[in-house]
Structure 1
Amino acid sequence: MSSQNDYRYVQYLPRVFQQKSGESDEHYFLGRFLRAFEAMLSGTTETAGESAGIEALLDELHHYFDPELAPSQFLPWLAGWVGLQLAEGVEYDGEQDNQERTLAPMQILPLAEARSTVNRKLLGSIVQLYKKRGTLDGLAEYLQVYAGEEAAIQIHNYEEPVRCGIAQRVGINTMVGAAEPSYFSVHIILPAYSRSLLQRKVRNLQEVIRKEKPFYTNSSLNIEVPQMCLGVYGRVGMETLLGGMTEQ
């Protein structure tokens, strides 16, 4: 015989409908009948596995719309709401999100703790970035998300002439001769531990520039992979890489 605690919903019934002393589960149909609704509404912890009920799902509903807490399977759905195409790859999804998308869990629940990846950061900031769409400031912020916090991004539009006392680098922030109309260049110091990662990032950055630059402009992208240089680069793992890049 089960105790009344095993049938949580029974305690809310009038006493005449509750399980009588000595009555077995087999003969107590009402308790077994209500247990199905209990599992659906309040969840269950049966041996087949724990599942959240509708009550818990409704309590956590707002987390499905939070890019940092939404389950990885929901990120493409959220991206569709704001017209965003998420980049694919472990460097953008993160290892955990990338693995979870291949699983088929019994329930897709929000994360217990906030998670930060490139795609999640982009989802969280894309609405504000849309307000700056078509501007160089918006392009710089967009590129920063894809390049990573460790990357240094500079955009030069060559509107100012060469001035003494300011560092000038031909092809980076200085141009010899006339430029194309409405021309700007993007210079990114991009640490990358492998050539394949560098190639993927460069392709994505080129695509971002193509889509997000002001429509009437011409542009170029310069990528600089930093190496140890005292007085210029010095933070290992940030803008300095020791030992060179790997092939993979």
Structure 2
Amino acid sequence: MRGTTTELETPYPLGSLLPAVLQEDELLMRFTAAVDLLLAPAINTVDCLAAYVDPGLAPPDHLGWLAGWVGAELNETWPLETQRAAIQQAVHLHRGRGTVEGMRLQLALVLGADVRITDSGGVTWSVEPVDDLADDRPALVEVVARSNSLRVAEVEAAVDAAKPAHVAHSVRVESVSGGM
């Protein structure tokens, strides 16, 4: 079945690296050609290593591995371009983690929708150490996603993943009107 398989060519044939006197030995040249066939996939992979670590070029089956390097959470149901964008923006998204703007960016990327977030402002500070904080309001985030194709359950799951664990939230999905 030799005609049905494709053989990878090596960019560095071992036989051509031998001294001329050894290149005259037919058995040795056949042996080095066989070794070339074994080494060609490894050499080509190393030559293309930059493509494997570029989220825009990496093969789809390598995206999960690449996401692990940058701490990006991927959902296999997301479109391929959304997965690539999540990996490319992972560092930027990690910088904003826990902030309203960081959460808005993450939700907009994951949901593919216009997202508005209102924060209760449940943060306080004091120059003096105190036991009783003046503002006891619980932290609350209200999320409004504008889309005709999203369901509340999808938005709930995305908000749960994006917000700090101690923050309560409410979610609303609004339809987008046809004309602007």
Alignment TM-score > 0.5, same fold: yes
Q: After TM superposition, list the pairs within 5 Å mapping 1:76-225 onto structure 2.
A: 76-89=64-77, 92-94=78-80, 117-148=81-112, 151-157=113-119, 181-192=138-149, 198-199=150-151, 202-225=152-175
- Do residues 18 (structure 1) and 23 (structure 2) align? yes
The percent of aligned pairs where both chains have the same amino acid is: 30
Once the two structures are TM-superposed, the CA of residue 216 in structure 1 deviates from its matched residue by: 4.0
What letter corresponds to residue 67 of structure 2 in structure 1?
A
Say if 2:143 and 2:172, in contact at 8 Å, map to a contact too: yes
What letter corresponds to residue 221 of structure 1 in structure 2?
V
Spell out structure 1 runs of 4+ moving beyond 4 A.
none
Q: What's the TM-score, normalizing by structure 1?
A: 0.54
1:158–1:15: structure 2 CA closer, same or farther, 3 Å change rule? closer
Say if 2:100 and 2:119, in contact at 8 Å, map to a contact too: no
The 3-state SS of whatever aligns with 2:170 is strand
Q: What's the TM-score, normalizing by structure 2?
A: 0.72
Counterpart CA distance in 2 for 1:68 and 1:191 is 28
Aligned length: 153
Say if 1:158 and 1:184, in contact at 8 Å, map to a contact too: yes
Higher helix share: 2
Counterpart CA distance in 2 for 1:74 and 1:190 is 31
1:157–1:11: structure 2 CA closer, same or farther, 3 Å change rule? closer
Say if 2:107 and 2:162, in contact at 8 Å, map to a contact too: no
Once the two structures are TM-superposed, the CA of residue 67 in structure 1 deviates from its matched residue by: 1.3
The 3-state SS of whatever aligns with 1:40 is helix
Alignment equivalent of 1:67, drawn from 47, 52, 55: 55
Say if 2:148 and 2:175, in contact at 8 Å, map to a contact too: yes
1:111-167 deviation digits (Å, cap 9, x = unpaired): xxxxxx11111111122211221111110010011122xx221112367xxxxxxxx
Once the two structures are TM-superposed, the CA of residue 74 in structure 1 deviates from its matched residue by: 1.1
Alignment equivalent of 2:27, drawn from 20, 26, 29: 29
Aligned Cα root-mean-square deviation (Å): 2.4
Say if 2:118 and 2:143, in contact at 8 Å, map to a contact too: yes
